[in-house]
Structure 1
Amino acid sequence: MGQNVARGIVPAVALTVLVLAGCSTAPERDTADRAEPAGETSGSAKAGAGSGSAAEGAVIGGAGTPCALPVSFSTAADWTAEKVTAGDDPAFASLVRQGGVNLVCEIDAKPAGSVGYLRVWTGKGKGTPREVLEGFMADEKKAASVRYRPTEAGELAAAEVTYLITGEFESEPKKERALAVSTPGGSVVLHLGGLDTQEHEAMLPAYELAKRTMAVTD
C-alpha cells in the first residue's frame, strides 16, 4: 500500500471495530431535529476551543489541490490535507466506505498540535443532506445521543449531526460530529472525530472554518 492508503488504515480499522461491535444492543438513538444542547456548548467554552476562530491555511477541493472534491473549503493553518485512495485492495476499500460515501481526503491536525482529522467522504448519491447523513450514521452502530439539525455550509443547505461514541479501546464516550451537503457533483460528508472529547473541542474552530467557507467547486 502507498502512503495515502496507509494513513487511512488506523481510522478505517477503528471504524470496522465499531461496525462489528454493533451486533450487541445499540444505545438508544435520539434523532430529533434540535440544536446541540446547552451543556455541549458550555463544554466547548470551558475547553477554550469552539469560542475561537481558526487562522486560515490552504484552500482544498479544487483542481490542483491535494484533494479534488465536489466542494472547496479553507483548512486551518498548519493542518495538512492528503488524498486517500483504496487502490486495488478490496479489503481496504470496504473499510473506507460508510453509508454510501467513500473516504477520499484526510486533513491532519497533528502539525497544528492536536490529535485528530477532518475527514471528507464523497458519493454519487443524490439524496437530501439529511438523507445522506442518516445513511452515513446508519453504520455508526455504537453512536448514542444522536442529534440532527438543519444548517448551512457556506451558502449550501446542509444537515449536521452530533453524537457520542465509545470505541473498543476507550473508557468513556467521546464527542463526534459531521455535516452533509448535496451538490451537482455528488454528496459530501465532512466529519470531525478526535482522540477524545477534549481534542475534539480543541479542533472545532477548524471544522467551523471549513463549514463557513464551503462552496461548490467549478
Structure 2
Amino acid sequence: MQRRTRVAVLAALTAALTAGCAEGKESPSGAGPPSASPGPTGSPVTPGPPWHDEVVAAPAGTTVGGKGTPCELPVTFSVPAGWKVEAVRGSAKFGEPRLDKALMLCEIDARPTADIGFLRVWRVDGVAGGAQEHLKHFLDAYSPEAADAEYRRVKAGTVDAVEASYPKEDGGPVHDRAIAISSLYGPIVLSLDTPEPAELLPAYQLVKQSARINRD
C-alpha cells in the first residue's frame, strides 16, 4: 500500500483510542560528531546513512510501558516530554487494530510538541523465528518500500534487538525506521511513522537507548 493508504489504515485502526497523555515541553537536540566507538547501548556507531547513529538522543520526558502508565507493555522506554501516549483498543466497528499478524498496542503522538509523526508499538503473533523474522513480517505488511530494508542486530538499551532502515516512499535521504526488541513475551516492534524521519530521529534514539525489560 502507498503511504496515503497506509496512513488511512492506521487512522482507522486507532479510531477507538483510549487512555491518557503525557504533559510537558520537549527540549531541542542535535547531532553530534561521527564516531567509530560503541554508542550508549554498546552497539557500534555507524554515522550517516542508513543508520545515522551520530544523532544525539532527545532528553527524556516520560517513561512508557510501566505499571500504571497509559500503555503497560513488556518493555519500557522513554519518550520526549509532551508526547501524547495512548493505549490502543479494539472496537465493535473496527475490530482489533491489526496489520496482518501485528497487533497495535500503543500509539505515541509527537504532534503536541509541534513535530509530526507517531511511534507505534506492536506485538507480532504466530510468526516462527526470532526478532528479525518478526520485524520482517511486520514490515512486509506495513510498507512496500520495506522490501529494500537493511537489518542489523543492536542493543536497545540493555536488550537484544534487530533494527531496520528502509527507504521512504518519496525517496528522501533519511530512511524510515523500525526496531524489534526482545522481551519476556517475544519480540515487540516499535515503528516510526513520520513524513520527516530526520526530525524525529532524536526521539527514536531516545527510545532505543532507554529500552528495558518490564519486570513489573
Same fold at TM > 0.5: yes
Correspondence 1:210 to 2:207: yes
**Which structure has greater strand proportion?**
1
| Alpha carbons 2:57, 2:204 under 8 Å: kept | no
**Which structure has greater helix proportion?**
1
Q: Which residue of 2 aligns with 1:162?
A: 165
Two-structure CA RMSD over aligned residues (Å):
2.8
Q: Which residue of 2 aligns with 1:184?
A: 184
Q: Give distance in 2, aligned partners of 1:161 and 1:99.
A: 19
Q: Give distance in 2, aligned partners of 1:114 and 1:87.
A: 28
Q: TM-score w.r.t. structure 2 length?
A: 0.71
Counterpart of 1:206 in 2: which secondary structure? helix
Larger relative CO (CA 8 A, sep 6+): 1 or 2? 1
Q: Give distance in 2, aligned partners of 1:15 and 1:135.
A: 21
> Where does the alignment leave 5 or more consecutive residues of structure 1 unmatched?
1-8, 17-34, 167-171
| Alpha carbons 1:36, 1:147 under 8 Å: kept | no
Indicate which of 52, 57, 76 corresponds to 1:53: 57
> What are the Cα deviations for residues 89-143 of structure 1, in whole angstroms up to 9, with x where unaligned?
3x453xx323522111111111122100011112455741111111112214521
Once the 2 structures are TM-superposed, how far is the Cα of residue 200 of structure 1 from its aligned partner? Answer: 1.1
> Where does the alignment leave 5 or more consecutive residues of structure 2 unmatched?
13-44
Change (3 A) 1:141 1:71: closer
| Alpha carbons 2:124, 2:138 under 8 Å: kept | no
Q: Give distance in 2, aligned partners of 1:206 and 1:115.
A: 12
> What are the Cα deviations for residues 33-76 of structure 1, in whole angstroms up to 9, with x where unaligned?
xx9784446xx69xxxx633311111010111010111001111
Q: TM-score w.r.t. structure 1 length?
A: 0.70
Q: Give distance in 2, aligned partners of 1:39 and 1:132.
A: 24
Q: Percent identity?
A: 34
Q: Which residue of 1 aligns with 2:133?
A: 131
Q: Which residue of 2 aligns with 1:201?
A: 198
Runs of 4+ in 1 over 6 A off after TM superposition: none
Task: Please show how residues 7-22 of structure 1 align to structure 2 within 5 Å.
Answer: 11=7, 13=9
| Alpha carbons 2:89, 2:105 under 8 Å: kept | yes
Once the 2 structures are TM-superposed, how far is the Cα of residue 14 of structure 1 from its aligned partner? Answer: 5.6
| Alpha carbons 1:99, 1:137 under 8 Å: kept | no
Change (3 A) 1:107 1:211: same
Q: Give distance in 2, aligned partners of 1:160 and 1:15.
A: 25
Indicate which of 141, 151, 154 corresponds to 2:154: 151
Task: Please show how residues 88-107 of structure 1 align to structure 2 within 5 Å.
Answer: 88-89=92-93, 91-93=94-96, 96-107=97-108
| Alpha carbons 1:151, 1:157 under 8 Å: kept | yes
